[in-house]
Amino acid sequence: MTEPLIGIHDLSLATAHYRLDHDALARHLGVDPAKFHVGLGQDAMSIPAADEDIVTMAATAAQPIIARHGGDRIRTVLFATESGVDQSKAAGLYVHGLLGLPTTCRVVELKQACYSATAALQFAAALIAREPAQQVLVLTGDVAKYALGSTGEPTQGAAAVAMLITAEPAILRLDTPSGLYSDDVSDFWRPNYRTEAVVDGKLSVEAYQHAIEQAWADYRYRGGRDLSEFAACCYHQPFTRMAYKAHRHLLHHAGSDAAPGTDLDSVLAAGTIYNRAVGNSYAASAYVGLASLLDHRDDLANRPIAIISYGSGSVAEFLSGVIEPGYHQHLRSAANAGAIARRRPITYAHYRELHQVEIPADGGDHKIEQESTGPYRLAALSGHRRIYESAEGRHHSSSLIQGK
């Protein structure tokens, strides 16, 4: 019996309600905007409204997928994030309820810094290999937040990506093998008692480069493609210039150093367009890059691409896939670009107010005023419960479902 081809059948992107342009940030900090536009490769960053979080962004990303394909065959929802809203309950359960998915479904949250979406993709593929008729909804989304005035502040951002993983996919079929690497490195972490991460910037860049180098070596050892075979590479992008830095490092390690003037843009640029606009989205970052690549290249049918995933701490994976013929017919290019274009620009003062918003921790009843205009929002907190509502005004929370 022939094993089924497995991969990404549908993909959708969502981001936050607001954006802070890096020109505005540069004016406030009194620095040359080129430090951000050229040095980091960033033009703006998505900033969530007070009534937005990873749940609302992920549900917004997944909604059109469910509208197109239905949810009856979805047996598993995997939510990859490092911005979890609860230490116990999976954020995906809120999304499961908002989307009206079947109760005959497992829902799990995955965490490993910026890597976990790739783990979710691979776990989904394994489930489908076991039972090809089922579908898996992979959700990934994060809000990247750093202290005001810190070196990480210009690399903040927010976005979510939803992917439907199936047999006989319409967009991308996954290859085997992939290359793996893990090591205990303290380059970026966030203890439970902190709302912002602790970062060793220099070590993080070094750890990233070393991890992808080792993942690439494992990939090649297991019979993977040569680097020259890939039509494009999608890297995890804490900032888009990191993709270029990482690719040059990998070329050097593979013995294919990029000569001065080498056109790295042909392999990388299309996959950085969305990330340049939304900023870092942690676990979603590489897949925001994949959405950007698919939406901006029209020459990928039957060609292999690479996804290079890294999560501080650290775990890396080098995986590859082949783009399906006719993939353009299944993309959401206009909707993805529209989600980014609709963001409202804000002043630095407004951004600072949002940055300092804290979720009440007293267990009382707190209504959250509406700011965002998406299909889902965080409407209130009550008794330590998060209550979400759709644009139609339907509330969703465990307490309401139980009739309390």
Residues carrying an active site annotation: 82, 114, 236
Rounded Cα distance between 305 and 284, Å, is 18
Rounded Cα distance between 181 and 48, Å, is 33
Name the DSSP class of 112.
Answer: B
- CA neighbor of 201 nearest in space, from 155, 159, 168: 155
Do residues 112 and 95 lie in contact, with contact meaning Cβ atoms separated by under 8 Å?
no
**Cα–Cα distances in angstroms (integers) from residue 76 to residues 161, 165, 295, in the given order:** 16, 10, 27
Neighbours of 122 (CB within 10 A): 18
Crossing angle of helices 285-296 and 116-130, rounded to 10°: 70
Rounded Cα distance between 378 and 28, Å, is 30
Rounded Cα distance between 229 and 13, Å, is 28
The CA-based angle 366-371-390, given to 5 degrees, is: 75
